[in-house]
Structure 1
């Protein structure tokens, strides 16, 4: 195991046919972990679930106790299943390393340095994973502070290892054209929807026909960043997107009314569907990644972009078309400062050449500068 699951109990047994099998228990005398240990992520998550919710309290003065309380509180139970998966991996790491650490030690000078050093020494190989672990640890300690178990959080304002946002990465016109030419039709349509709306993957996959009235798309975003509720956005549908939506609608209707019952599909509520014409439940990220990889192989081009990067792409394309930053923010769900930063990175910075060219063509600037 890459993750040290402290306290786990192993029992080796000889089966009737003579093979040796190892069984894993959450703790000595505790429940068996009925997950294949080769699936490290699932195994660690199940270990975490059992120890957080079912393990008897051994010592209420340790960080393990704080984690148990956190996992039983709404701060954790209210998270989505997908979010919990990432949190569980981090919590297993934290508990394995600091589970036996006394709570009072968090108040002592040097606690922050010890935790940060662990991050730098053991987790720095994957900066984004390290940052997630520290973010979860910070949440757990903030919970402890709110519960008055500690007076201060030693991880407050801890700097990140990773460079952070992907808003500085966008799809180029050539990349989008290449994918449109050779990508699977159902994924090309997802690209067009993302390019013209700037919305998150999760929101687009859940987008229903009720959100489209023939002129606008209106939706409630699922989230808008740390501690913020998702915004309601209203987006004017472009001619390209409208044509795509009408084609999708016609195909879905034709499939639902197919004369051959064996080829008939129920009319989906969502706009985007799988290749088989059913709403996405899982697998979009893998399908998208495989399609982009195939496009790169066939074209000989390097992509290095993800589906999420269409958010920054939308902002840049909108500004290039002359849309005001305030209106871009309203449509995308970003705040104006975020939009301006993306625009400066990809549009305004490249506009410096045009400034010099216009000054030179004016003539007067060149003449005046020569007089100096």
Structure 2
């Protein structure tokens, strides 16, 4: 009877086409026949009826368990365990997305390596796991240094977690020399850069610029910032990367910009259609606007965060005050100031020096005219 009902609803025929699923019919004590489903490789029971979301979820879970069993004792297994850990789940969604890409590359290269090989001391003439991993990193860095650093850093995080959990006795990577060295100490948005950008920016891009400069928040947090976070006087948000709750009183200029912005979506920043920005699309439009503005410096949206820190410092804000607004630690905020203020202060001092020189020349000219009676 049960089988007849399944066939009538199309579930039984759907089940037949499912790969890796074993069907078992059992007679119950009352004489009725019940149909059960199992993962064929592990005989793990699959809950629900074929064609339902419950069945699909249970089958996927059985598949994950099968993959874990198949890869037990290898680097692939270690990475899969890490992805199920609380450490991984507490990361921001954007961080997990990037991490998945980097760890996938690690799995493809080193997934089959036994866990024991990570820390054993090989016989003379045989490279250790650390040597192999650093050589791999060096090879990748010849063409893509930044990507090479990201992949090895992602694996380094897995290994550090594995040490804490007792899976391995020590981390074979630990510290390593990074191939990519970015020095953005000189790259902040100067007033002339901002003016050039605003002269060609659409209202959507102008509002994004205002929010970044006047709040010091990350692009990811601003693209998802809802109107409900703004009460007319301040913006309150929980940062996606650090999970810090920050309270940012808004400037008069930002209040005017927000008051004139259309509310076509729950989020403040939207595309022309009124839908929230896709990160890649926003990056494209922002880059096009920077190019149209004729800004020659290699300025990124993220540099607005450092620019906001310098603006707050030049306005007389203390490091603790700046850190409270931007969400940085005080140590990190001070580090930013040490790096970024050099350029603005250098220009200010240079202008001051030239102004004094011109004043001195005018004074000398006046004295000369007085002495000669000219």
Q: Is the TM-score greater than 0.5?
A: yes
Residues in 2 aligned to 1:143 and 1:129: alpha-carbon distance in whole angstroms: 22
The correspondence for 2:246, drawn from 233, 253, 258, is: 233
Residues in 2 aligned to 1:150 and 1:304: alpha-carbon distance in whole angstroms: 43
Query: How many correspondences in the alignment?
Result: 291
Indicate yes or no: 2:146 matched with 1:128: yes
The correspondence for 1:91, drawn from 100, 103, 110, is: 103
**How far apart are residue 192 of structure 1 and its match?**
0.5
Indicate yes or no: 2:328 matched with 1:330: no
Residues in 2 aligned to 1:84 and 1:235: alpha-carbon distance in whole angstroms: 27
Residues in 1 aligned to 2:253 and 2:289: alpha-carbon distance in whole angstroms: 25
Indicate yes or no: 2:97 matched with 1:101: no
Deviations along 1:236-290, whole A, 9 cap, x unmatched? 2112111101101xx33xxxxxxxxxxxxxx52222222222333x2x4433433
TM-score with structure 1 length normalisation? Answer: 0.68
CA separation of 1:295/1:61 partners in 2, compared to 1, >3 Å: closer, same or farther?
closer
**Cα RMSD over matched residues?**
3.2
The correspondence for 1:153, drawn from 171, 176, 192, is: 171
Match of 1:263 in 2: none
Deviations along 1:318-342, whole A, 9 cap, x unmatched? 1122222221111111122222222
Match of 1:287 in 2: 282
Secondary structure of the corresponding residue to residue 307 of structure 1: coil
**How far apart are residue 314 of structure 1 and its match?**
0.2
Please give the residue correspondences for 1:164-179 in structure 2 after superposition, counting only pairs within 5 Å: 169-179=187-197
Deviations along 1:177-209, whole A, 9 cap, x unmatched? 111111121111111011100001121122222
Gaps of 5+ in 1: 1-28, 31-48, 225-229, 253-266, 364-372
Match of 1:20 in 2: none
**How far apart are residue 102 of structure 1 and its match?**
2.4
CA separation of 1:52/1:66 partners in 2, compared to 1, >3 Å: closer, same or farther?
farther
Residues in 2 aligned to 1:50 and 1:134: alpha-carbon distance in whole angstroms: 30
CA separation of 1:105/1:171 partners in 2, compared to 1, >3 Å: closer, same or farther?
same
Of the two, which has the highest radius of gyration?
2
Gaps of 5+ in 2: 1-39, 42-60, 122-127, 361-374
Residues in 2 aligned to 1:80 and 1:50: alpha-carbon distance in whole angstroms: 27
Match of 1:262 in 2: none
The correspondence for 1:316, drawn from 291, 310, 317, is: 310
Residues in 2 aligned to 1:85 and 1:50: alpha-carbon distance in whole angstroms: 23
Match of 2:256 in 1: 243
Indicate yes or no: 2:79 matched with 1:67: yes
Indicate yes or no: 2:339 matched with 1:345: yes
Secondary structure of the corresponding residue to residue 67 of structure 2: coil
